[in-house]
Structure 1
Amino acid sequence: MLAQQRQSAILDLVRRQGGVRVSQLVRQFGVSDMTIRRDLEALSERGLVDKVHGGATVAGPGSTEEPGFDAKSVRQRTEKAEIAARAARLVEPGTAVALSAGTTTAALAALLLDVPGLTVVTNSIPVADALYRSGRSDQTVVLTGGIRTPSDALAGPVAEAAIASLNVDVLFLGVHGMSPRTGFTTPNLMEAGTNRLLVAAARRLVVLADHTKWETVGIATIAPLEDADVLITDSGLPEEARIQLNERVGDLIVADVTGDQE
C-alpha cells in the first residue's frame, strides 16, 4: 500500500472512530511504528488530524476559537448535569464559594439555590443571574465587573481588581481543555488572567470538565493539572486519561452517565 493510500485509510478511521492509537495502526497496516508516526505527522501538517500522545484525534478547533455560551450550553448536557450534581455535594452551608464562567458551573449554580448562608463570588453573568433570581435573603452574590467575553464571563482589569482582594473556601472552575502537557486551558487570554486570580483566591480548587475537554488545548494555561484538589469529569473519559489524571490531581471523581461504575 502506498503512503498516500495508507494515510487516506487512517484519516477515514479517525473520522469514524474519533481517534486512533499508533499501536492499533501498526497492527492494522503491518508497518513500523515510525512509519505510522510519519503518516500522522503528514496528516497533522495538513490540518486533517490532531496529534496527541500515542495517536491522533479528529482535528479540533484552533486554540483561540471560543464558542459562545448558548452554543456550549447544548453540548454534553447529560454529562454536565451529572458533573454539577457531584460538585453540589461538596458545597457546605455558610461557606464562601467562587464559580468561574462556563456552562457546567451555570448548571451547578442552579443546584445551589437551596444551600443556606452561601456567599458566591463569580465572574459569570448566567451564574449570578440564576442565584439572583432565587431571591434567598441568606445568600450573598458578588458579581465582578469587567469586559464581557463570548462565554458570558466578565474579565479584564476591573474583574481582576475585584477578585484580588477576596478569599474563598473553594473555587469551582470550568475549563475549555485539559491535558498533561498544557494543564487546564482557555481560548481567551483575558479570561485566563481572571481565572488565575480566582485560583489564587481559593483555599481549594475543584475543576469541572466533561470528557470532551481531554486533550483539548486553549491558547492560555490557567493552572497545571497538579493544582486541582478535585477534578470532576464523566464516565466518557478514556481509561488512559483516567490513569494520567489520577497520577496528577488530588482526587478524581467520575460521574456515571453510561451505567458504568466509578
Structure 2
Amino acid sequence: MLARQRQELILEEIKRTGAVRVHDLVSRLGVSDMTVRRDLDVLARRGLVEKVYGGATSVAGRSTDEPGFEAKSVRALPQKEAIAARAAGLIKPGTAIGLSAGTTTWTFARFLDDVPDLTVVTNSIRVADVLQRGGRTDRTVVLTGGVRTPSDALVGPVALQAIRSLHLDVVFLGVHGMAPGPGFTTPNLSESETNRALVEAGGRLVVLADHTKWGVVGISTIAELDEADVLVTDDGMGAEEQELLSEYIDDVIVASVQREETA
C-alpha cells in the first residue's frame, strides 16, 4: 500500500471515530510502528490531524468543538494519570464526592479503589461503569440519569433535578479549557449547566486539568478560576502560568509526569 493510501485510510478513521492509536493502525495496515508514526507526522505537518500520546486525533478548533470520548481519551494520557494519582490522595474515607464527566475524571475513578467507604455521585456513564466494575461493597455509586452527550455525560432536567437535591463534600471537575476571564469552560451548553449544578452541590471544588487545557476557551463557563479550592495539573504547565493560577486558586498542585520515549 502506498503512503498516500495509508494516510487517506488514517484520515477516514479519524473522521469516523475522532481518534486513532498507533498500535491499532500497525495491525490494520500491516506496517511497522515507525511507518505509522511517519504517516502521522506527515498528516500533522499538513494540519490535518493533531498528534497525541500514542496516536492522533482530529484537529481542535472552535469553542463549540466537542470530540467524542474515544478521541479525548488518548490526549495527554500520562498527564491525566499523574493528576489522577495525586488527586486521589485528597479524598478522605467516608465522604460523599461528585465526579463530572470527562476522560480526566474517568482516569481519576480508576485510582479510587484504595479509598474506603465512599459515596460517589456522577453524571458520567463511563465513570459509573469504572466504579461499578470495582465491586466494592463499601462504595455507593449514584448515576444521575439524563440525556447523553458526545462525552458520555448525562445532562438535562433529570440530571439537574438529581444533582440539586444532593449535598456533597467535594466535587472533582474535569474541564475542556481554562483561562483568566472565561475561567473553566466547556464546548457543550447543556453539560455546562449540569456541571455548574455539581459545583454548587459541593462544599469544595477540585479541578483536574492538564497543561494542554491552559488557554483553551469553550463556549460556556462552568466556574470562575477563583471558585476552585484546588487545581491539580501536571508539570507541563509553565512556571508563569502556575504563578498566574496561584493568584486565583489557593492550592495549585503540580503532579510530576514520568517521561517516556514516544518517538
Q: How high is the TM-score relative to the length of structure 1?
A: 0.75
Which residue is 1:124 aligned to? 124
Task: Show the 5 A alignment for 1:208-219.
Answer: 208-219=208-219
Rounded Cα–Cα distance in structure 2 between residues aligned with 1:168 and 1:178 = 24
Name the CA shift for 1:252/1:195 in 2 (closer, same or farther; >3 Å).
Answer: same
Alpha-carbon distance, 1:238 to partner: 1.6
| 1:49-86, Cα deviation, whole Å (9 max, x unpaired) | xxxxxxxxxx9510000011111101111000000000
Rounded Cα–Cα distance in structure 2 between residues aligned with 1:138 and 1:165 = 23
Which residue is 2:226 aligned to? 226
- SS in structure 2 at match of 1:196: helix
Residues 184 and 222 in structure 1, CA contact (< 8 A), matched pair in contact too: yes
Rounded Cα–Cα distance in structure 1 between residues aligned with 2:61 and 2:74 = 17
Rounded Cα–Cα distance in structure 2 between residues aligned with 1:225 and 1:237 = 16
Matched to 1:201, the amino acid is: A
Which residue is 1:198 aligned to? 198
Identity of aligned residues (%): 65
Which residue is 2:81 aligned to? 81
Which residue is 1:33 aligned to? none
Matched to 2:97, the amino acid is: V
Residues 228 and 249 in structure 1, CA contact (< 8 A), matched pair in contact too: yes
Residues 97 and 169 in structure 1, CA contact (< 8 A), matched pair in contact too: yes
- SS in structure 1 at match of 2:110: helix
Which residue is 2:177 aligned to? 177
Alpha-carbon distance, 1:115 to partner: 1.7
Rounded Cα–Cα distance in structure 2 between residues aligned with 1:113 and 1:124 = 18
Residues 235 and 258 in structure 1, CA contact (< 8 A), matched pair in contact too: no
- SS in structure 1 at match of 2:130: helix
Alpha-carbon distance, 1:138 to partner: 1.1
Alpha-carbon distance, 1:211 to partner: 0.2
Which residue is 1:235 aligned to? 235
| 1:129-186, Cα deviation, whole Å (9 max, x unpaired) | 0111112111100000111011111011110000001000000000000000100000
Deviates more, 1:223-232 or 1:104-113: 104-113
Rounded Cα–Cα distance in structure 1 between residues aligned with 2:189 and 2:74 = 24
**Structure 2 stretches lacking a partner, 5+ long:** 1-58
Which residue is 1:110 aligned to? 110
Rounded Cα–Cα distance in structure 2 between residues aligned with 1:75 and 1:256 = 17
- SS in structure 2 at match of 1:111: coil
Rounded Cα–Cα distance in structure 2 between residues aligned with 1:75 and 1:174 = 14
Residues 78 and 258 in structure 2, CA contact (< 8 A), matched pair in contact too: no
Which residue is 1:61 aligned to? 61
Residues 98 and 171 in structure 2, CA contact (< 8 A), matched pair in contact too: yes
Rounded Cα–Cα distance in structure 2 between residues aligned with 1:125 and 1:202 = 20
Which residue is 1:42 aligned to? none
Matched to 1:77, the amino acid is: L
Rounded Cα–Cα distance in structure 2 between residues aligned with 1:236 and 1:136 = 34
- SS in structure 1 at match of 2:218: coil
Rounded Cα–Cα distance in structure 2 between residues aligned with 1:211 and 1:244 = 13
- SS in structure 1 at match of 2:244: helix
Rounded Cα–Cα distance in structure 2 between residues aligned with 1:194 and 1:113 = 26
* Higher CA-based Rg: 1
Which residue is 1:137 aligned to? 137
Name the CA shift for 1:116/1:258 in 2 (closer, same or farther; >3 Å).
Answer: closer
Q: How high is the TM-score relative to the length of structure 2?
A: 0.75
- SS in structure 2 at match of 1:205: strand
Residues 98 and 198 in structure 1, CA contact (< 8 A), matched pair in contact too: yes
Residues 148 and 155 in structure 2, CA contact (< 8 A), matched pair in contact too: yes
Which residue is 2:90 aligned to? 90
Matched to 1:72, the amino acid is: K
**Structure 1 stretches lacking a partner, 5+ long:** 1-58
Rounded Cα–Cα distance in structure 2 between residues aligned with 1:251 and 1:114 = 24
